[in-house]
Structure 1
Amino acid sequence: MSSKNYLLKWRNHPNSFMEVLDYLHAEELFIDVTLACDGDRFGAHKVVLCACSPYFQRLLAENPCKHPIILLKGVKSEEMKALVEFMYKGELCVGQRDLYSLLKTAESLQIRGLSEYSFSGADAAETIYDDVSASSDDVGTIRQVPLRRTLKKP
């Protein structure tokens, strides 16, 4: 006698899961790591940092503390705040003036989704907004940005 198997699926799991993580972060619930830089501190969840960055994954695996405090020298607090937001929400609005520095920091911290850019010190700035579509419903959405795109310092 064979038994049948049934696939039970939560249709909106990825969105619901991300909403709960964002809520837990916003309410500072179950925070288990602190990022310290530029005189500020940011609470986060180890699992989010590890999922979004091989750098944090290695660092936290090598130092299995209950609630580590990670000191990030040379990282601006505004950039760290923005990068933490990106890791929790998967998107970020950043001004052109701050873009190069933010992506450089993301590269050094190996933030997935942002660290796929290489940098060049040439004079002319190359925009990464080739694939931006705008409508009356949104300010702009980057549909797809090729990996390993060279950004030139403004």
Structure 2
Amino acid sequence: MGADQQFCLRWNNFHSNITTAFESLRDDEDFVDITLACEGRQIKAHKMVLSACSPYFRSLLKDVTFANLTSILDFMYHGEVNVSHNELATFLKTAEALKVRGLAEDEKKKDSEGYNESSSPPISGRAP
């Protein structure tokens, strides 16, 4: 037997063990990292599971930082927000993924040149 010989080790009940482990993680709320709210109630979940099972959640949760989400909420509630130059690209990408009015493209309102008045927010270089 050579030192380069490889062995395949297989977990016989892998699928049933993983399913049981996922159920346990959800039931015990271990390692939850997102809270969803609907009809005035909340559900704790795991971003990884949501993303693996739903392209919608994957798109929604991908690359969303707390700072960007906070800034988007500020924009929604106040109609404006100050974003640093370093955060601007990810902020706008997040706004586009969430289809935030006033920040994201609105396909229905594009004119023949592809310009969208409401989705082109004025960006100024002025400091807050």
Q: TM-score, normalised to structure 1's length?
A: 0.40
Larger radius of gyration: 2
Structure showing the higher strand proportion among its residues: 1
